[in-house]
Amino acid sequence: MINKTREWSALEAHAERLSTAPLANLMTEKHRFDHYSIDAPHWLLDFSRQRVDKESLAALIELAKVAKLEEQIQALFGGKAVNTSENRPALHTALRDPNTEHKKITETLSHMEQFCHEVFTHKLKGVNGQPITDIVNIGIGGSDLGPRFTTEALSHFAKKKVRCHFISNIDPSDLSLKLKDLNPGGILFIVSSKSFNTQETLINAQMAKDWLTHMTASDNCVDYQFVAVTANTEKAKAFGINEAHIFPTWDFVGGRFSLWSAVGLPIALSIGFKNFKQLLLGAHEMDQHFLNTPFENNLPVMTALLNIWQRNFQGINNQAIIPYSTYLERFVPYLQQLVMESCGKSVSRDGETLAFGAGPIIWGGVGSDSQHAFHQHLHQSHERSMIDFIGFRQSLNPTYTQQTLLFANMIAQADALALGRDIKSADNHPHRVMPGNRSSNLLLADKLTPESLGALIALYEHQVFTQSAIWGINPFDQFGVELGKTLANDYFKALESDKTSKIGAIEWFKSKS
């Protein structure tokens, strides 16, 4: 296990050595920004506010080498079975490779492009002859969080011909609230489920089907106004979906890595297929950077190593993601699945219990709103957080000074966390003292575009892979979600039964029904 290596022990010694080194002193190093920043496709990483020096960075890179990170990256891109527990490759990078030789992928992209054209040109119409005006995606987990985040993040680039909506929760209010103001004759429902057996998705799809049948007074509406994204074609057809409207998914792409596939159809329908291809291109550019760049200048590798440095050698178990962009408001929920479902493990690939913590808790929110919500905790709480600030030089909706002020606020927060304020500067008022020495990263881009967003998402995907490779865990399974699903089925039967349950909450629910 990695914590038994000399390289791990060396990092423990570096952490002890730097534990009393004030960040303020480290930050005075001449040319520190130049030495502690990395330029990658579309993004610059400034990690000059991290409690690291040249020796500790070199030791982190040695840890990556002893973990055979380079071999594991080659295995990922080479289509090896890196999903070891399920003996499958993870080919999400092939989905955005313009030179991919996977015929299934290229055929699906062509099908998506043609389908988008049919919607935009009104060749595809509802059962009563009305043009499609609204897309309603029904899915959950990776079939919802990725497409929903990306569609909202790129709403500036949205085509005006269609609006996108997302239904995921089994709470009946989710579906009811989304549909109540829509024109039934102009809705296209996308049912996104790899197995076409996901309980929440299938129940919502059936409710949507019943609603649409009633509202259009047509038993044939599903043939016109439903699409499926699934690996289970037969089950989708049995639901009534036209085979020409079924888009494939595959076992070699996990749900949380699937927005680049037909799962991303809502994205393409929102921003247009040309912009969707730019999204793929940005991700591919980050893929190539990750694959071909030495570790010391490799953005995904270095952000992962800095996370491991803070998680395992500074005892920080949570990570705040703070994008200074309203468009990235849903980035945190997306990353919660990507990071916590991938890295929320306590057992190694070999089945051994880990002797150290792995994935952090992901939380956060949009700045500058976050400054008036939880930054108090970041500055003065006993608990420390890993922090990624994400910012842009240019706004998509420019005014004279607002973007400059927004950027100033972000830099100010990073420096205030690092430098703090001592008792003298606080006028001897202890409640105004800021301890400082709180590290953060700045991830900076010129502007939010489909390409830069694609690169940002791919950056975090590869960061997850790198961390998992070094910790020795499998980021591509999620057995932790299974037990609750099994119990929910049993409890549903108990709630519907006349028999008395030993579970108090079940009896309470039944007594109030």
What is the per-residue pLDDT across 427-466, written as a single tens digit (0 to 9) for each?
A: 999 999 999 999 999 999 999 999 999 999 999 999 999 9
Q: pLDDT tens digit string along 473-482?
A: 999 999 999 8
Which residue segment(s) compose the domain that 494 sits in?
482-511
Residue 101 lies in a domain: yes
Q: pLDDT tens digit string along 331-346?
A: 999 999 999 999 999 9
Both 271 and 378 in one domain: the answer is: no
When the pLDDT of each residue in the chain is averaged and rounded to a whole number, the result is 96
Confidence label for 84 from pLDDT (cuts 50, 70 and 90): very high
Instruction: Provide the pLDDT for residue 399.
Output: 84
Q: pLDDT tens digit string along 241-274?
A: 999 999 999 999 999 999 999 999 999 999 999 9
Judged against a pLDDT cut of 80, whether residue 512 lies above it is answered with: no
Range 171-183 average pLDDT = 96
Residue with tokens 């596939």: 261
| CA separation for the pair 10, 63 (Å, rounded) | 9
Q: How many domains would you assign to the chain? A: 3
Cα end-to-end span (Å), the chain: 53
Closest CA to 255 of 231, 279, 282, 227: 231
Q: Is the Cβ–Cβ distance between 282 and 150 less than 8 Å? A: no
Q: Is 167 helix (H, G, I), strand (E, B) or coil?
A: strand
| CA separation for the pair 148, 453 (Å, rounded) | 14
Both 249 and 372 in one domain: the answer is: no
| CA separation for the pair 200, 140 (Å, rounded) | 7
Both 264 and 401 in one domain: the answer is: no
Both 122 and 223 in one domain: the answer is: yes
Both 457 and 488 in one domain: the answer is: no
Q: Is the Cβ–Cβ distance between 259 and 139 less than 8 Å? A: no
Report the predicted TM-score, pTM, of the whole model to 2 decimal places: 0.97
Instruction: Provide the pLDDT for residue 319.
Output: 98
Q: What is the 3-state secondary structure (H, E, C) of 248-296?
A: ECCCCCCHHHCCCCHHHHHHHHHHCHHHHHHHHHHHHHHHHHHHHCCHH
Both 206 and 138 in one domain: the answer is: yes
Both 360 and 413 in one domain: the answer is: yes
Per the model's pLDDT, the better-predicted residue between 161 and 255 turns out to be 255
Both 100 and 122 in one domain: the answer is: yes
Instruction: Count the neighbouring beta carbons within 10 Å of the beta carbon of residue 220.
Output: 11
Both 228 and 304 in one domain: the answer is: no
Residue 459 lies in a domain: yes
Domain termination residue (choose one: 215, 243, 277): 277
Both 197 and 244 in one domain: the answer is: yes
Q: Is 363 helix (H, G, I), strand (E, B) or coil?
A: strand
Both 161 and 121 in one domain: the answer is: yes
Confidence label for 358 from pLDDT (cuts 50, 70 and 90): very high
Q: pLDDT tens digit string along 211-226?
A: 999 999 999 999 999 9
Mark whether 165 is an active-site residue: no
Residue type, 413: Q
| CA separation for the pair 42, 278 (Å, rounded) | 12
Distances (CA, A) of 301 to 54, 220, 307: 16, 52, 10
Confidence label for 513 from pLDDT (cuts 50, 70 and 90): low
Residue 79 lies in a domain: no
| CA separation for the pair 43, 41 (Å, rounded) | 6
Judged against a pLDDT cut of 70, whether residue 167 lies above it is answered with: yes
Inter-helix orientation angle 482-496/504-512, to 10° = 50
Q: Is the Cβ–Cβ distance between 265 and 436 less than 8 Å? A: no
Residue 16 lies in a domain: yes
Mark whether 122 is an active-site residue: no
Range 84-91 average pLDDT = 96
Q: Name the DSSP letter for residue 144.
A: T
CATH of the domain at 180: 3.40.50.10490
Both 470 and 491 in one domain: the answer is: no
Catalytic one of 200, 341, 451, 461 = 341
Catalytic one of 372, 424, 431, 502 = 372
Catalytic one of 156, 447, 485, 493 = 485
Instruction: Count the neighbouring beta carbons within 10 Å of the beta carbon of residue 167.
Output: 26
Q: Is the Cβ–Cβ distance between 85 and 75 less than 8 Å? A: no
Residue 285 lies in a domain: no
Cα 299 to the center of its chain, rounded Å: 17
Percent of the chain with pLDDT strictly greater than 70:
100
| CA separation for the pair 46, 61 (Å, rounded) | 18
Mark whether 345 is an active-site residue: no
Instruction: Provide the pLDDT for residue 159.
Output: 84
Instruction: Provide the pLDDT for residue 400.
Output: 78
Domain termination residue (choose one: 277, 308, 335): 277
Residue 245 lies in a domain: yes
Distinct helix (H) and strand (E) counts, the chain: 22, 11
Range 349-369 average pLDDT = 97
Question: Which residues are paired to 507 by β-bridges?
Answer: none
Residue 78 lies in a domain: no
Judged against a pLDDT cut of 90, whether residue 350 lies above it is answered with: yes
Range 80-99 average pLDDT = 96
Residue 181 lies in a domain: yes
